[in-house]
C-alpha cells in the first residue's frame, strides 16, 4: 500500500490533467459521456496505484498510452491544404 505524503497532491493534480486531456479528446470525437470517461480514468488510476503499490509505473503506462494515442491520431489526420 502506498504511503501518503507530499507526492499525493502532486499525483492527484497530474491525474486531473490526464483526466482533462481524456475529456477533451472524448468531446472532440463526439463520445457519449466524456465526463464519465474522464472520471473513470481518474478513479482507475488511483486504484491502479493501490494495486501496483507505486506511482511511477502507473504514470509511465499513462504517458506511453498518451504518446501512442497522439502518434496514431497525428498520423491519421488528413493533410491540410495551403
Average pLDDT estimate for 48-68: 90
Q: Are 17 and 45 in contact (CB under 8 A)?
A: no
Asked whether residue 48 is domain-assigned, the answer is: yes
Task: Report how many domains make up the chain.
Answer: 1
Is 35 part of a structural domain of the chain?
Answer: yes
Residue 80 has pLDDT above 80, yes or no: no
> Where in the sequence is the domain holding 40, given as residue range(s)?
7-76
Q: Which residues fall within 8 angstroms of residue 22, CB to CB, at 6 or more apart?
A: 34, 37, 38, 41
Q: Which residues contact 14 (CB under 8 A, 6 or more apart)?
A: 59
Q: Which of 30-34, 42-46, 60-64 has the lowest mean pLDDT?
A: 30-34
Domain contains 1: no
Amino acid at each position: 500500500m502506498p504511503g501518503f505524503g507530499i507526492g499525493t497532491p502532486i499525483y492527484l493534480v497530474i491525474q486531473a490533467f490526464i483526466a482533462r486531456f481524456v475529456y477533451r479528446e472524448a468531446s472532440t470525437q463526439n463520445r457519449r459521456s466524456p465526463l464519465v470517461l474522464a472520471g473513470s480514468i481518474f478513479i482507475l488510476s488511483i486504484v491502479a496505484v493501490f494495486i501496483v503499490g507505486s506511482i511511477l509505473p502507473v504514470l509511465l503506462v499513462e504517458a506511453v498510452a498518451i504518446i501512442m494515442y497522439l502518434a496514431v491520431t497525428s498520423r491519421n489526420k488528413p493533410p491540410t491544404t495551403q
